[in-house]
Chain A
Protein backbone atom coordinates (compact mmCIF):
# COMPACT_ATOMS: atom_id res chain seq x y z
CA UNK A 1 0.00 0.00 0.00
CA UNK A 2 1.44 3.33 -1.00
CA UNK A 3 1.19 6.23 1.35
CA UNK A 4 -0.05 8.75 -1.21
CA UNK A 5 -3.75 9.37 -0.87
CA UNK A 6 -6.24 9.45 -3.71
CA UNK A 7 -8.99 10.84 -1.53
CA UNK A 8 -8.58 13.02 1.55
CA UNK A 9 -11.33 14.44 3.77
CA UNK A 10 -10.10 16.86 6.42
CA UNK A 11 -12.58 18.07 9.02
CA UNK A 12 -15.36 18.13 6.43
CA UNK A 13 -18.83 19.39 7.31
CA UNK A 14 -21.62 19.06 4.74
CA UNK A 15 -25.10 20.52 4.64
CA UNK A 16 -27.59 20.22 1.79
CA UNK A 17 -28.67 23.84 2.01
CA UNK A 18 -26.68 26.72 3.35
CA UNK A 19 -28.79 27.23 6.43
CA UNK A 20 -29.97 23.70 7.21
CA UNK A 21 -28.40 21.51 9.87
CA UNK A 22 -25.23 19.69 8.91
CA UNK A 23 -25.65 16.14 7.63
CA UNK A 24 -21.96 15.30 8.02
CA UNK A 25 -19.73 16.96 10.55
CA UNK A 26 -16.02 16.86 11.24
CA UNK A 27 -15.27 13.97 8.90
CA UNK A 28 -11.57 13.21 8.55
CA UNK A 29 -10.55 10.20 6.53
CA UNK A 30 -8.54 9.11 3.50
CA UNK A 31 -8.26 6.45 0.85
CA UNK A 32 -4.80 5.54 -0.46
CA UNK A 33 -4.20 4.88 -4.12
CA UNK A 34 -5.51 1.45 -5.11
CA UNK A 35 -6.90 0.94 -1.62
CA UNK A 36 -10.49 -0.27 -1.27
CA UNK A 37 -12.33 1.06 1.73
CA UNK A 38 -15.85 0.18 2.87
CA UNK A 39 -18.13 2.91 4.17
CA UNK A 40 -20.59 1.50 6.67
CA UNK A 41 -23.50 3.09 8.45
CA UNK A 42 -27.20 2.67 9.05
CA UNK A 43 -29.75 4.21 6.71
CA UNK A 44 -29.53 7.98 6.92
CA UNK A 45 -26.09 7.98 8.51
CA UNK A 46 -24.67 10.03 5.64
CA UNK A 47 -22.91 7.53 3.36
CA UNK A 48 -24.44 8.82 0.12
CA UNK A 49 -23.91 12.40 1.25
CA UNK A 50 -20.22 11.75 1.83
CA UNK A 51 -19.78 10.27 -1.64
CA UNK A 52 -21.65 13.17 -3.26
CA UNK A 53 -19.58 15.70 -1.32
CA UNK A 54 -16.39 14.28 -2.81
CA UNK A 55 -17.63 15.26 -6.29
CA UNK A 56 -18.20 18.86 -5.28
CA UNK A 57 -21.97 18.71 -5.70
CA UNK A 58 -22.76 19.75 -2.13
CA UNK A 59 -21.61 22.81 -0.21
CA UNK A 60 -19.01 21.89 2.38
CA UNK A 61 -16.48 23.35 4.77
CA UNK A 62 -13.09 21.81 5.48
CA UNK A 63 -10.79 20.30 2.86
CA UNK A 64 -11.41 17.64 0.25
CA UNK A 65 -8.51 16.55 -1.96
CA UNK A 66 -8.96 14.15 -4.88
CA UNK A 67 -5.94 12.72 -6.68
CA UNK A 68 -3.81 15.59 -5.41
CA UNK A 69 -6.29 18.28 -6.47
CA UNK A 70 -7.90 20.46 -3.84
CA UNK A 71 -11.66 20.52 -4.43
CA UNK A 72 -12.92 24.06 -5.03
CA UNK A 73 -15.53 25.60 -7.34
CA UNK A 74 -12.82 26.15 -9.93
CA UNK A 75 -11.38 22.64 -9.82
CA UNK A 76 -14.68 20.79 -9.49
CA UNK A 77 -14.81 19.81 -13.18
CA UNK A 78 -11.25 18.51 -13.15
CA UNK A 79 -11.95 16.60 -9.97
CA UNK A 80 -15.06 14.98 -11.45
CA UNK A 81 -13.01 13.78 -14.39
CA UNK A 82 -10.95 11.72 -11.95
CA UNK A 83 -13.95 10.09 -10.31
CA UNK A 84 -16.12 7.20 -11.40
CA UNK A 85 -19.43 7.30 -9.55
CA UNK A 86 -22.08 4.63 -9.20
CA UNK A 87 -25.47 5.77 -7.91
CA UNK A 88 -27.53 3.38 -5.86
CA UNK A 89 -30.24 3.52 -8.53
CA UNK A 90 -28.40 3.05 -11.81
CA UNK A 91 -31.17 4.52 -13.98
CA UNK A 92 -30.43 7.92 -12.44
CA UNK A 93 -27.14 8.02 -14.27
CA UNK A 94 -27.92 6.32 -17.59
CA UNK A 95 -28.30 9.20 -20.03
CA UNK A 96 -28.50 7.57 -23.43
CA UNK A 97 -31.10 5.31 -25.03
CA UNK A 98 -28.46 2.86 -26.21
CA UNK A 99 -26.04 1.12 -23.85
CA UNK A 100 -22.89 1.50 -25.92
CA UNK A 101 -23.40 5.27 -26.32
CA UNK A 102 -23.84 5.63 -22.60
CA UNK A 103 -20.78 3.57 -21.76
CA UNK A 104 -18.63 5.39 -24.30
CA UNK A 105 -19.85 8.84 -23.23
CA UNK A 106 -16.93 9.69 -20.91
CA UNK A 107 -14.60 9.06 -23.83
CA UNK A 108 -16.53 10.68 -26.69
CA UNK A 109 -16.95 13.72 -24.48
CA UNK A 110 -13.16 13.96 -24.33
CA UNK A 111 -12.98 13.95 -28.13
CA UNK A 112 -11.66 10.42 -28.38
CA UNK A 113 -12.57 9.13 -31.88
CA UNK A 114 -15.89 7.27 -31.89
CA UNK A 115 -14.39 4.00 -33.14
CA UNK A 116 -11.82 3.87 -30.39
CA UNK A 117 -14.32 5.02 -27.77
CA UNK A 118 -16.75 2.28 -28.73
CA UNK A 119 -14.01 -0.34 -28.73
CA UNK A 120 -12.97 0.68 -25.22
CA UNK A 121 -16.59 0.79 -24.10
CA UNK A 122 -17.04 -2.76 -25.42
CA UNK A 123 -13.99 -3.81 -23.40
CA UNK A 124 -15.40 -2.21 -20.27
CA UNK A 125 -18.74 -3.96 -20.75
CA UNK A 126 -17.02 -7.26 -21.48
CA UNK A 127 -15.01 -7.01 -18.26
CA UNK A 128 -18.30 -6.81 -16.39
CA UNK A 129 -19.81 -9.67 -18.36
CA UNK A 130 -22.17 -7.34 -20.18
CA UNK A 131 -20.75 -7.38 -23.71
CA UNK A 132 -24.02 -8.68 -25.12
CA UNK A 133 -25.91 -5.64 -23.82
CA UNK A 134 -24.05 -3.12 -25.98
CA UNK A 135 -26.81 -2.52 -28.53
CA UNK A 136 -29.73 -2.79 -26.13
CA UNK A 137 -31.84 -0.03 -24.68
CA UNK A 138 -31.50 0.41 -20.89
CA UNK A 139 -35.27 -0.11 -20.63
CA UNK A 140 -34.87 -3.70 -21.68
CA UNK A 141 -32.47 -4.48 -18.84
CA UNK A 142 -32.88 -5.81 -15.34
CA UNK A 143 -31.63 -3.86 -12.35
CA UNK A 144 -28.45 -5.93 -12.12
CA UNK A 145 -27.73 -5.43 -15.80
CA UNK A 146 -28.35 -1.69 -15.54
CA UNK A 147 -25.95 -1.56 -12.66
CA UNK A 148 -23.27 -3.25 -14.71
CA UNK A 149 -23.90 -0.78 -17.53
CA UNK A 150 -23.64 2.19 -15.17
CA UNK A 151 -20.47 0.75 -13.66
CA UNK A 152 -18.97 0.20 -17.11
CA UNK A 153 -19.68 3.86 -17.88
CA UNK A 154 -17.87 4.86 -14.69
CA UNK A 155 -14.89 2.57 -15.35
CA UNK A 156 -14.38 3.21 -19.02
CA UNK A 157 -12.16 6.26 -18.62
CA UNK A 158 -10.07 4.47 -15.96
CA UNK A 159 -10.54 7.08 -13.19
CA UNK A 160 -8.14 6.84 -10.23
CA UNK A 161 -11.04 7.02 -7.76
CA UNK A 162 -14.29 5.07 -7.71
CA UNK A 163 -17.17 6.02 -5.45
CA UNK A 164 -19.76 3.26 -5.30
CA UNK A 165 -23.09 3.70 -3.55
CA UNK A 166 -24.59 0.40 -2.42
CA UNK A 167 -23.32 -1.54 -5.44
CA UNK A 168 -24.51 -4.92 -4.15
CA UNK A 169 -27.92 -3.91 -2.89
CA UNK A 170 -30.00 -5.43 -5.68
CA UNK A 171 -27.81 -8.29 -6.76
CA UNK A 172 -28.36 -12.01 -6.26
CA UNK A 173 -25.58 -14.01 -4.53
CA UNK A 174 -23.93 -14.96 -7.82
CA UNK A 175 -24.08 -11.35 -8.99
CA UNK A 176 -22.49 -10.18 -5.76
CA UNK A 177 -19.67 -12.70 -6.06
CA UNK A 178 -18.88 -11.71 -9.63
CA UNK A 179 -19.06 -8.00 -8.77
CA UNK A 180 -16.66 -8.58 -5.87
CA UNK A 181 -14.21 -10.34 -8.17
CA UNK A 182 -14.48 -7.56 -10.77
CA UNK A 183 -13.97 -4.78 -8.25
CA UNK A 184 -10.99 -6.55 -6.71
CA UNK A 185 -9.36 -6.63 -10.14
CA UNK A 186 -9.65 -2.90 -10.79
CA UNK A 187 -6.67 -0.60 -10.30
CA UNK A 188 -8.29 2.35 -8.57
CA UNK A 189 -8.89 3.68 -5.11
CA UNK A 190 -12.42 2.79 -4.03
CA UNK A 191 -14.86 3.96 -1.43
CA UNK A 192 -17.78 1.55 -1.24
CA UNK A 193 -20.86 2.65 0.70
CA UNK A 194 -22.81 -0.39 1.78
CA UNK A 195 -24.40 -2.21 4.68
CA UNK A 196 -23.62 -5.56 3.15
CA UNK A 197 -20.73 -6.56 5.40
CA UNK A 198 -19.84 -9.93 3.83
CA UNK A 199 -19.69 -8.25 0.42
CA UNK A 200 -17.54 -5.40 1.76
CA UNK A 201 -15.22 -7.87 3.49
CA UNK A 202 -14.65 -9.67 0.21
CA UNK A 203 -13.78 -6.46 -1.63
CA UNK A 204 -12.28 -4.03 0.88
CA UNK A 205 -9.31 -4.18 3.19
CA UNK A 206 -10.58 -1.64 5.68
CA UNK A 207 -13.78 0.07 6.76
CA UNK A 208 -14.99 3.40 8.11
CA UNK A 209 -18.24 3.37 10.06
CA UNK A 210 -20.47 6.45 10.07
CA UNK A 211 -23.10 7.17 12.62
CA UNK A 212 -25.41 10.18 12.45
CA UNK A 213 -22.99 12.08 10.23
CA UNK A 214 -19.85 11.46 12.28
CA UNK A 215 -17.09 8.89 12.06
CA UNK A 216 -18.01 6.30 14.66
CA UNK A 217 -15.08 3.92 14.22
CA UNK A 218 -12.55 2.60 11.71
CA UNK A 219 -10.79 -0.69 11.43
CA UNK A 220 -9.94 -3.84 9.55
CA UNK A 221 -11.96 -6.30 11.63
CA UNK A 222 -15.23 -6.63 9.71
CA UNK A 223 -16.73 -8.82 12.45
CA UNK A 224 -16.47 -5.92 14.80
CA UNK A 225 -18.22 -3.63 12.31
CA UNK A 226 -21.02 -6.15 12.07
CA UNK A 227 -21.47 -6.09 15.82
CA UNK A 228 -21.48 -2.29 15.81
CA UNK A 229 -24.12 -2.13 13.06
CA UNK A 230 -26.29 -4.75 14.72
CA UNK A 231 -26.04 -2.99 18.04
CA UNK A 232 -29.12 -0.81 18.17
CA UNK A 233 -27.33 1.75 20.32
CA UNK A 234 -25.11 3.23 17.61
Chain B
Protein backbone atom coordinates (compact mmCIF):
# COMPACT_ATOMS: atom_id res chain seq x y z
CA UNK B 1 0.00 0.00 0.00
CA UNK B 2 1.12 3.52 0.69
CA UNK B 3 4.75 3.67 1.81
CA UNK B 4 4.61 6.76 4.06
CA UNK B 5 1.54 5.40 5.85
CA UNK B 6 2.99 1.91 6.18
CA UNK B 7 5.99 3.21 8.01
CA UNK B 8 4.00 4.37 11.05
CA UNK B 9 3.97 1.73 13.74
CA UNK B 10 5.94 -0.76 11.67
CA UNK B 11 8.47 -1.27 14.47
CA UNK B 12 8.25 -4.04 17.03
CA UNK B 13 10.66 -3.07 19.78
CA UNK B 14 10.08 -2.84 23.53
CA UNK B 15 9.24 0.86 23.19
CA UNK B 16 5.85 -0.13 21.81
CA UNK B 17 4.88 -1.33 25.27
CA UNK B 18 5.07 2.26 26.50
CA UNK B 19 2.18 4.70 26.22
CA UNK B 20 2.08 6.44 22.83
CA UNK B 21 2.66 9.85 24.42
CA UNK B 22 5.70 8.46 26.24
CA UNK B 23 7.12 7.25 22.94
CA UNK B 24 6.54 10.66 21.41
CA UNK B 25 8.10 12.54 24.35
CA UNK B 26 11.07 10.16 24.61
CA UNK B 27 11.67 10.47 20.89
CA UNK B 28 11.68 14.24 21.26
CA UNK B 29 14.10 14.05 24.20
CA UNK B 30 16.49 11.78 22.28
CA UNK B 31 16.27 14.08 19.27
CA UNK B 32 17.05 17.10 21.46
CA UNK B 33 20.00 15.32 23.05
CA UNK B 34 21.40 14.52 19.66
CA UNK B 35 21.09 18.16 18.65
CA UNK B 36 22.84 19.31 21.82
CA UNK B 37 25.70 16.82 22.24
CA UNK B 38 29.01 18.46 21.32
CA UNK B 39 30.60 16.73 18.32
CA UNK B 40 33.92 18.51 18.94
CA UNK B 41 35.01 15.62 21.17
CA UNK B 42 35.01 12.01 20.04
CA UNK B 43 33.23 11.09 23.27
CA UNK B 44 30.34 13.40 22.43
CA UNK B 45 30.11 11.98 18.93
CA UNK B 46 30.19 8.42 20.23
CA UNK B 47 27.44 9.27 22.72
CA UNK B 48 25.22 10.64 19.99
CA UNK B 49 25.76 7.65 17.70
CA UNK B 50 25.23 5.21 20.56
CA UNK B 51 22.09 7.00 21.73
CA UNK B 52 20.63 6.96 18.23
CA UNK B 53 21.41 3.27 17.77
CA UNK B 54 19.88 2.46 21.15
CA UNK B 55 16.70 4.37 20.34
CA UNK B 56 16.38 2.63 16.96
CA UNK B 57 16.74 -0.73 18.72
CA UNK B 58 14.20 0.19 21.40
CA UNK B 59 11.73 1.19 18.71
CA UNK B 60 12.44 -2.04 16.84
CA UNK B 61 12.95 -0.12 13.60
CA UNK B 62 12.74 -2.72 10.82
CA UNK B 63 15.90 -3.22 8.78
CA UNK B 64 14.06 -2.25 5.60
CA UNK B 65 13.21 1.16 7.10
CA UNK B 66 16.73 1.63 8.38
CA UNK B 67 18.09 1.04 4.89
CA UNK B 68 15.55 3.48 3.47
CA UNK B 69 16.57 6.03 6.09
CA UNK B 70 20.24 5.51 5.27
CA UNK B 71 19.44 6.09 1.60
CA UNK B 72 17.58 9.31 2.31
CA UNK B 73 20.33 10.53 4.63
CA UNK B 74 22.88 9.79 1.92
CA UNK B 75 20.92 11.62 -0.73
CA UNK B 76 20.35 14.62 1.51
CA UNK B 77 23.67 14.99 3.27
CA UNK B 78 26.39 13.66 0.97
CA UNK B 79 26.10 16.93 -0.99
CA UNK B 80 27.05 18.74 2.22
CA UNK B 81 30.25 16.68 2.38
CA UNK B 82 30.95 17.47 -1.25
CA UNK B 83 30.75 21.16 -0.40
CA UNK B 84 33.55 20.75 2.15
CA UNK B 85 36.09 22.90 0.27
CA UNK B 86 33.77 25.88 0.49
CA UNK B 87 32.73 25.54 4.11
CA UNK B 88 34.02 28.08 6.63
CA UNK B 89 35.68 26.20 9.49
CA UNK B 90 35.19 27.84 12.88
CA UNK B 91 38.36 26.44 14.37
CA UNK B 92 41.40 28.38 13.19
CA UNK B 93 43.92 26.08 14.89
CA UNK B 94 43.21 23.12 12.66
CA UNK B 95 44.76 22.89 9.28
CA UNK B 96 42.27 24.45 6.89
CA UNK B 97 41.09 21.31 5.06
CA UNK B 98 40.78 19.12 8.14
CA UNK B 99 38.79 21.82 9.89
CA UNK B 100 36.43 22.12 6.99
CA UNK B 101 35.99 18.39 6.76
CA UNK B 102 35.18 18.23 10.47
CA UNK B 103 32.64 21.03 10.11
CA UNK B 104 30.81 19.51 7.15
CA UNK B 105 31.08 16.01 8.61
CA UNK B 106 29.54 17.19 11.84
CA UNK B 107 26.60 18.76 10.04
CA UNK B 108 25.98 15.67 7.91
CA UNK B 109 26.35 13.26 10.81
CA UNK B 110 24.12 15.23 13.16
CA UNK B 111 21.44 15.60 10.53
CA UNK B 112 21.58 11.90 9.67
CA UNK B 113 21.29 10.88 13.29
CA UNK B 114 18.30 13.19 13.77
CA UNK B 115 16.70 11.66 10.69
CA UNK B 116 17.20 8.17 12.12
CA UNK B 117 15.68 9.21 15.45
CA UNK B 118 12.63 10.70 13.73
CA UNK B 119 12.14 7.62 11.56
CA UNK B 120 12.55 5.31 14.53
CA UNK B 121 9.97 7.27 16.52
CA UNK B 122 7.55 7.05 13.62
CA UNK B 123 8.00 3.29 13.38
CA UNK B 124 7.10 3.08 17.04
CA UNK B 125 3.94 5.15 16.65
CA UNK B 126 1.01 3.50 14.84
CA UNK B 127 -1.23 6.10 13.24
CA UNK B 128 -4.18 4.74 15.16
CA UNK B 129 -2.47 5.77 18.40
CA UNK B 130 -1.41 9.23 17.32
CA UNK B 131 -4.48 10.89 18.81
CA UNK B 132 -3.99 9.10 22.11
CA UNK B 133 -0.44 10.40 22.09
CA UNK B 134 -1.56 13.99 21.55
CA UNK B 135 -4.38 13.62 24.06
CA UNK B 136 -1.91 12.42 26.68
CA UNK B 137 0.61 15.20 26.14
CA UNK B 138 0.59 18.00 28.68
CA UNK B 139 -1.11 20.36 26.22
CA UNK B 140 -4.25 22.50 26.44
CA UNK B 141 -7.19 20.46 25.18
CA UNK B 142 -7.86 22.74 22.23
CA UNK B 143 -4.26 22.44 21.05
CA UNK B 144 -4.41 18.65 21.32
CA UNK B 145 -7.68 18.50 19.37
CA UNK B 146 -6.20 20.74 16.69
CA UNK B 147 -3.08 18.58 16.42
CA UNK B 148 -5.16 15.41 16.10
CA UNK B 149 -7.30 16.90 13.35
CA UNK B 150 -4.31 18.42 11.58
CA UNK B 151 -2.65 15.03 11.48
CA UNK B 152 -5.83 13.29 10.39
CA UNK B 153 -6.68 15.76 7.64
CA UNK B 154 -3.09 16.14 6.45
CA UNK B 155 -2.80 12.42 5.92
CA UNK B 156 -6.06 12.32 3.97
CA UNK B 157 -4.84 15.29 1.93
CA UNK B 158 -1.55 13.56 1.16
CA UNK B 159 -3.52 10.57 -0.01
CA UNK B 160 -5.84 12.75 -2.08
CA UNK B 161 -2.87 14.57 -3.57
CA UNK B 162 -1.50 11.21 -4.69
CA UNK B 163 -4.83 10.45 -6.32
CA UNK B 164 -4.92 13.81 -8.11
CA UNK B 165 -1.42 13.27 -9.46
CA UNK B 166 -2.27 9.76 -10.62
CA UNK B 167 -5.45 10.95 -12.30
CA UNK B 168 -3.66 13.75 -14.13
CA UNK B 169 -0.91 11.35 -15.21
CA UNK B 170 -3.37 8.78 -16.47
CA UNK B 171 -5.34 11.26 -18.45
CA UNK B 172 -2.43 13.30 -19.73
CA UNK B 173 -0.24 10.34 -20.62
CA UNK B 174 2.35 10.82 -23.30
CA UNK B 175 4.83 13.51 -24.05
CA UNK B 176 4.54 17.03 -22.73
CA UNK B 177 3.14 15.46 -19.62
CA UNK B 178 5.29 17.34 -17.16
CA UNK B 179 4.47 20.77 -18.50
CA UNK B 180 0.81 19.91 -18.50
CA UNK B 181 1.03 18.46 -15.01
CA UNK B 182 2.71 21.61 -13.82
CA UNK B 183 -0.16 23.76 -15.04
CA UNK B 184 -3.16 21.59 -14.26
CA UNK B 185 -2.05 20.26 -10.91
CA UNK B 186 -2.54 23.39 -8.77
CA UNK B 187 -5.94 24.08 -10.25
CA UNK B 188 -7.26 20.54 -9.85
CA UNK B 189 -5.66 20.19 -6.45
CA UNK B 190 -7.06 23.44 -5.03
CA UNK B 191 -10.52 22.54 -6.27
CA UNK B 192 -10.41 19.14 -4.65
CA UNK B 193 -9.03 20.46 -1.39
CA UNK B 194 -11.73 23.12 -1.12
CA UNK B 195 -14.43 20.58 -1.88
CA UNK B 196 -13.06 18.16 0.69
CA UNK B 197 -12.72 20.89 3.31
CA UNK B 198 -16.34 21.86 2.79
CA UNK B 199 -17.55 18.28 3.03
CA UNK B 200 -15.49 17.53 6.13
CA UNK B 201 -16.84 20.65 7.82
CA UNK B 202 -20.35 19.44 6.98
CA UNK B 203 -19.57 16.00 8.38
CA UNK B 204 -18.30 17.58 11.59
CA UNK B 205 -21.50 19.58 12.04
CA UNK B 206 -23.60 16.57 11.14
CA UNK B 207 -21.87 14.27 13.59
CA UNK B 208 -21.88 16.88 16.34
CA UNK B 209 -18.09 17.22 16.49
CA UNK B 210 -16.84 19.95 18.82
CA UNK B 211 -13.58 20.73 20.57
CA UNK B 212 -15.09 19.28 23.73
CA UNK B 213 -15.58 15.87 22.11
CA UNK B 214 -12.56 15.92 19.85
CA UNK B 215 -10.45 13.56 21.91
CA UNK B 216 -11.08 9.99 23.03
CA UNK B 217 -12.75 9.95 26.42
CA UNK B 218 -10.24 7.73 28.15
CA UNK B 219 -6.57 8.57 28.33
CA UNK B 220 -4.43 5.97 30.05
CA UNK B 221 -2.29 6.93 33.02
CA UNK B 222 1.49 6.80 32.98
CA UNK B 223 2.80 3.49 34.30
CA UNK B 224 6.11 2.95 36.12
CA UNK B 225 8.00 2.06 32.94
CA UNK B 226 6.70 5.20 31.23
CA UNK B 227 7.91 7.42 34.04
CA UNK B 228 11.25 5.59 34.09
CA UNK B 229 11.75 6.13 30.35
CA UNK B 230 10.68 9.78 30.54
CA UNK B 231 13.03 10.49 33.43
CA UNK B 232 15.91 8.65 31.72
CA UNK B 233 15.59 10.38 28.37
CA UNK B 234 14.96 13.69 30.15
CA UNK B 235 18.21 13.27 32.11
CA UNK B 236 20.08 12.41 28.91
CA UNK B 237 18.80 15.59 27.33
CA UNK B 238 19.82 17.67 30.34
CA UNK B 239 23.20 15.92 30.41
CA UNK B 240 23.72 16.75 26.74
CA UNK B 241 22.94 20.37 27.48
CA UNK B 242 25.51 20.42 30.30
CA UNK B 243 28.16 18.83 28.06
CA UNK B 244 27.37 21.38 25.41
CA UNK B 245 27.84 24.28 27.82
CA UNK B 246 31.07 22.80 29.22
CA UNK B 247 32.64 22.10 25.83
Contacts and interface: CB of A to CB of B under 8 A. Distances in A.
Interface of A: 52, 55, 57, 77, 80-81, 83, 85, 87, 89, 91-99, 101, 105-106, 108-109, 114, 117, 135-137, 139-140, 153
A140 B213 contact: no
A98 B209 contact: no
A19 B131 CA distance: 41
A46 B202 CA distance: 17
A202 to B, nearest CB: 27
Interface size class of B (residues with CB under 8 A): 20 to 34
Contacts of A80: 205-208
A107 to B, nearest CB: 10
B207 A95 contact: yes
Contact of B127 (A57, A137, A153): A137
Interface string B132-152: 100000000000000011011
Contacts of A83: 206
B216 to A, nearest CB: 5
B9 to A, nearest CB: 8
B127 A97 contact: yes
Given A89-B199, A139-B5, A96 B159 contact: no
Nearest to B152: A97
User: Which of A77, A80, A81, A96 lies at the interface centre, i.e. has the most chain B CB atoms within 10 A of its CB?
Assistant: A96
Contacts of B92: none
B23 to A, nearest CB: 15
Nearest to B210: A109
A92 B199 contact: yes
Given A105-B209, A137-B8, 19 more contacts: A52-B202, A55-B202, A55-B206, A77-B208, A83-B206, A87-B199, A91-B159, A93-B206, A94-B152, A95-B204, A97-B127, A97-B128, A97-B129, A97-B152, A106-B207, A109-B208, A117-B217, A137-B126, A140-B1
Contacts of A87: 199, 203
A179 to B, nearest CB: 20
B202 A137 contact: no
Top 5 A-B pairs, shortest CB-CB distance:
A137-B127, A93-B203, A98-B128, A137-B128, A92-B199
B200 A93 contact: yes
28 contacts: A55-B206, A80-B206, A81-B208, A85-B203, A85-B206, A85-B207, A87-B199, A89-B199, A93-B200, A93-B206, A95-B149, A95-B152, A95-B200, A95-B207, A97-B128, A97-B129, A97-B131, A97-B151, A98-B129, A98-B132, A101-B131, A106-B208, A109-B213, A114-B218, A137-B5, A137-B126, A139-B127, A139-B156
B196 interface: yes
Interface string B154-192: 011001000000000000000000000000000000000
B117 interface: no
